[in-house]
Amino acid sequence: MTIETRTSIVWDYAPAPESADHIRVKDRYGLFLDGEFREPAEGRYVPTINPATEQPVAEVAWAGPGDIATAIERARDAQPGWAALPGLERAKYLFRIARLIQERSRELAVAETIDGGKPLRESRDVDIPLAAAHFFHYAGWADKLRYGVGAREVTPLGVVGQIVPWNFPLLMAAWKLAPALACGNTAILKPAETTPLTALLLAEICQEAELPPGVVTILPGDGSTGAALVRAPGIDKIAFTGSTAVGRDIQAALAGQQVGLTLELGGKSANIVFEDAALDQAVEGIVNGIFFNQGHVCCAGSRLLIQESVRDEVVGKLWARMRRLRIGDPLDKNTDVGAINSAEQLERIELLVAAGEEEGAVRRTIECELPERGYWFAPTLFTEVSPAHRIAVEEIFGPVVSVLTFRTQAEAIEKANNSRYGLAAGIWTDKGSKAFEVASALQAGVVWQNTYNHFDPTAAFGGYKESGFGREGGPAGLRPYLRVVR
């Protein structure tokens, strides 16, 4: 008798690069001020770099204190007229912006990927559609503001300063601008130094939408531009997303002043897997939770808490899944993990990973060929992690997951809450009642059940403890941009 053995098929991927020919990146971008692109007062231009190739993408003007003062003046001039428009009219502008983002979505996705290093699949399927969705959502609120804040009488705050990080450049700009404009404020946005490109394309979209001059201002620059904006006279509110250290500095600078403040800061979120969970599904959620956007996600599930009885099985499945991840050219549609956003961020990841090894945790990094140029870090898993290790405490903001274990539900809650942060958490279980019980005991602004990194413009997002305060998204996102009169 002969035994027939099946020939195993080895699947491989052919390269599937997205073309970058169709995008219209200029060599140079000025500041977007008073409805047009302008030379910066100090004449400073800085190249923005593609982190996957280390090649410059465009030269971008950086704003100084003089530009900030002019921008505030123009935004202040424009604000009463913008606020006086009927809500329905403001909504039309927001709808137009949303539609134009959709029309230019392919171009915006490529620009986001080139400027920031994230896989095209993510910029195309997550960043850009969600940015449009935020403008659509808040367009819907513009004529119903009082119903979003418990039927109170409200007015806009005035001129708001908004500072965003580099991990979701266009999406964070949309999170900030859409509610501010819907509420009748004028806004001055400062994009992050490594990723200003899509904010500048959004400036073009504001022009195309014929947004009145001064309603949106875009002032690229680094931390000193951000610090100057925070301290500039004439700003009524600062909305900041970024690191906890900078958030603290901003809070101290504004203490005792009549300036509104919301802070969306860092995180070290727990992703909790109970033994009764659908483990294969949980593994997909763990991968999405920590390797999405190279782990450059404030709410990344970077602390993986697994119930001891299924620890080996989950780690085994996770490692097998990790080895199938494809790392490399972010413009290739097959790529799962793209480039690290900057040399500086890569250095920080390497430093914390080295600390993990020195402190005795066991490191596994997937073997793969990494491109010669650019900034890369292969997906990494740490086991034998103790809660006191730096990799269990500090935000790595990279594709690195630390595994901890627990025995009981109470221990899972205690370990999850044992963090100075409190941004998000994930719960994987088959039992609805357990999920509700655990979720209500967690100190986290967002808790996902049997999913992770699921974003929706109708849902509020924000932190507890050192993850900040204030909410963005949904009706809760209107409140920080309004003053309750009665």
Active site residues: 264, 298
Return the axis-axis angle of helices 87-103 and 128-141, rounded to nearest 10°.
170
CA angle 442, 448, 453 (to 5 degrees): 125
d(CA 98, CA 90): 13
d(CA 451, CA 288): 9
The β-bridge partners of 259 are none
Applying CB under 6 A, which residues contact ligand NAD?
163-167, 190, 192-193, 222-223, 226-227, 230, 241-243, 246, 249-250, 264-267, 298, 395, 397, 423, 463, 467-468
Maximum pairwise Cα distance, the chain: 90
Tokens, residue 355? 């600390």
What DSSP designation does 333 have?
Answer: T
Considering the complex, state which of residue 48 and residue 241 has its C-beta at the smaller distance from ligand NAD: 241
How is 267-314 classified by DSSP, letter by letter?
Answer: ---EEEE-TTS-HHHHHHHHHHHHHGGGG--TT---EEEEEGGGHHHH
**Min CB(92)–ligand NAD separation in Å:** 29
CB-nearest residue to ligand NAD? 226
Tokens, residue 125? 């399927």
Using alpha carbons, select from 39, 18, 22, 43 the residue that is nearest to residue 30. 39
CB-based contact 190:229 (threshold 8 Å): yes
If you count DSSP H runs as helices and E runs as strands, how many of each does the chain have, helices first?
A: 16, 22
Instruction: Cite the beta strand spans of 207-269 per DSSP E.
Output: 216-218, 237-241, 260-264
Tokens, residue 36? 């047009």
d(CA 480, CA 471): 8
d(CA 162, CA 29): 20
d(CA 293, CA 226): 24
Report in angstroms the alpha-carbon separations of 80 from 26, 88, 104, 184.
Answer: 33, 16, 31, 8
Considering the complex, state which of residue 30 and residue 266 has its C-beta at the smaller distance from ligand NAD: 266
CB-based contact 23:107 (threshold 8 Å): yes
Using alpha carbons, select from 183, 93, 99, 187 the residue that is nearest to residue 143. 183
What DSSP designation does 404 have?
Answer: E
Report in angstroms the alpha-carbon separations of 331 from 48, 104, 121, 127.
Answer: 17, 17, 8, 15
The dihedrals phi and psi of 477, each to the nearest 5 degrees, come to -75, -10
